Amino acid sequence: MEWLTRLAMRLRALRRGDTVHREITEEWQFHIDLRTEENIRRGMTPEAARRIAEQHFGNRGYIKDLSWEERGGGLLETLWHDLKFGIRQLRKSLGFTVIAVVTLALGIGANTAIFSYINAWMIKPLPYPKADRLMVFVSHDKKKGWTRNSVTSTADFFDFQKQNTSFEQTATWAGWNFNLTGDGPPSLVEGGRVSWNYFETLGGKPMLGRTFTPDEDRPGAPHVAILSQGLWLSRFAGEPNIIGRNITIGGEAYTVVGVMPGTFQFPLMGIANLWTPLALTDKERADRGSSWLSAFGRLRPGVTSKQAGAESAALFARLETQYPLTNTNLTLLVNSMTSEIGRNEGAPEVMICFAIVGLILLIACANVANLMLARATGRTKEFAVRGALGATRGRLARQLLTESLLLFFFGGLAGMFIGLWGMRWIESQIPDHIPMYLVNYGHVDLDFATLAFHAGNCAVVRLRPRSRVRKFAA
Amino acid sequence: MTGKQKPELPQGTLDMLVLKALSLGPMHGYGVGQRIGQLAEEMLKVEEGTLYPALYRIERRGWIVSEWGVSENNRRARFYKLTREGRKQLNLEEANWSHLSVAIGKVLRTA
């Protein structure tokens, strides 16, 4: 609390310096008056009494300086003066200021925009609990070398599901277009047919109702469906009692059992607004020839992706000898979902982009540093005069530092707007068929930590010319 | 002119004297000066004005607090009062001082 009182005192001196000065003067006048009275009592003439009192008090100017160090605004006061002076200086050379601020803003803005995207797409974990435990299954032909983002065959997958010991759960899905009729004009809705545990394996929780049950994932089971928040709001006007209501898909009645929140995304499926259970028939489940399903799984605690991969390789080697006609050379790879999604996003291109804007920022900083250096050279006379008048080296350095920080503050501020605009531009430049594969699409926010980081970086680059001050102040 | 001459007191002694003076009760700056005069008699030539920066410094450290009051001759005056920390500090400095003066006295007598 003590520092708070102190801060309050400093602020008071800053805001009401006159009052503080007056108080000090009054206190001293009181002192001198009492001393004068005392001197008169000792037999001095009033004039002599006052003169002696003043003399004994000492050098007022000097004492005032000492007092102001304690009672004045302290560092805050210096900072305030520096800021005022800095703004005056920047306004005086408006051309320089505008160029420097715009240069910085472009560098900082471009970096922030790009990095905000990189952060959302590639650095932030996927929006699922314990996303690093999620693995995607990829078929691979050992001889021909191709890989495909689906299982080798439906029957293979169910063998794998039954026999593996590495996964807590494995789920399977297929992208699907649904023909929605009733409740307005017919429309084609993108979504997926999914195994009952699809949502559970990802860790997605419904905002209304529930997800599917194992019984609903069987042929002949009553038809059920889950809507996305978007579809619920747009087509059903956010009807509160949507759960249990019937909708018509492909001419058949489906009961809505749940609504998934807008934050639930699965980039590998793309845009998805409607899900129904796969409900595979026995014949489909026994199909070892075709592969129209994709699958992923959640690793058991303690099992590494490498162990899971090794288990899968062994299992598929057995299937190869068992079903040579369909399975020769085929195996199922276990890849991390994070990197799988990252690859689909064209990670190298994004990183190249980032490297380019990083260099731009560096160039911007160097340019501004040069500009300021040139300006400092032009201000040699000013520093010489101030040094001669008694400004210490530290004082001059602090002044220059404040000016640079001001510049970077404005640069950062303008950079923020350029960053926001840049993000909107990036969003508008993403081809229509891409967004659905982007994690966090539509949920990318300007990354303020990044903004501050870039602005700070520039400022550090800028601190060097401070050494120039040394020449002018002893 | 005795203007810029600094008080010939060992560093920090003035603070201790001010605390000691205020340990007798709240007082304004002039009174503190008088009390120091009584305490230290004529040995100490404190330039009266330099008392004030010292008071302000001690106040900033939280050893004393000040507020406006009315003096014995009915004038507005700023009164200073010792805080609990101030009293602790005074005890500490007194102990240190007597330690030091005994030690120095010994050296001066034997050397």
Share of chain B above pLDDT 70, in %: 80
ipTM score of complex: 0.81
- What global pTM score does this model have? 0.54
The whole-number pLDDT of residue A458 equals 65
In this predicted structure, which of A71-85, A235-249, A309-323, B53-67 has the lowest mean pLDDT? A71-85
pLDDT of residue A399: 81
Average confidence (pLDDT) over A230-250:
91
The partner residues of A228 in beta bridges, in order of sequence, read: A260
User: What are the b/e assignments for B58-93, b being 16+ CB within 10 Å?
Assistant: bbbbbbbebeeeebeeeeebbbbebbeebeebbeeb
For residues A428 and A415, what is the distance between their CA atoms, to the nearest angstrom?
A: 19
Q: Which of A14-18, A161-165, A405-409 holds the top average pLDDT?
A: A161-165
CB contact under 8 A, B48 and A27: no
Q: Do B50 and A63 touch (CB under 8 A)?
A: yes
Q: Is B4 near chain A, with CB under 8 Å?
A: yes
pLDDT beyond 80 at A283: yes
Q: Residue A256: is its pLDDT beyond 90?
A: yes
- Residue A200 confidence (pLDDT): 93
pLDDT at A29 over 80: yes
Where does residue A138 fall: left (phi above 0), alpha (psi -120 to 50 degrees), or beta otherwise?
A: beta
Query: What are the backbone dihedrals phi and psi of residue A245, each rounded to the nearest 5 degrees, phi first?
Result: -80, 150
Residue A56, chain B, CB below 8 Å: the answer is yes
**List of residues 6+ apart from A297 with CB closer than 8 A:** A134, A135, A137, A166, A167, A168, A169, A170, A171, A201, A308
Q: Mean pLDDT lowest for which of A200-209, A234-243, A324-333, A347-356?
A: A347-356
Average pLDDT, chain A: 84
Measure A125 CA to nearest chain B CA, in Å. 50
Q: Which residue has the tokens 């009051």?
A: B69
CA dist A256 and A227 (Å) reads 7
Does pLDDT of A277 surpass 90? Answer: yes
Q: Is A59 on the interface with B (CB under 8 A)?
A: yes
**CB atoms A31 and B48 under 8 Å:** yes
Look at residue A66 in the predicted model and tell me its pLDDT.
Answer: 82
Paired sense of beta strands A224-228 and A252-260, if any:
parallel
Q: Give residue for tokens 């008169």.
A: A40
Chain mean position to CA A317: 45
pLDDT at A211 over 90: yes
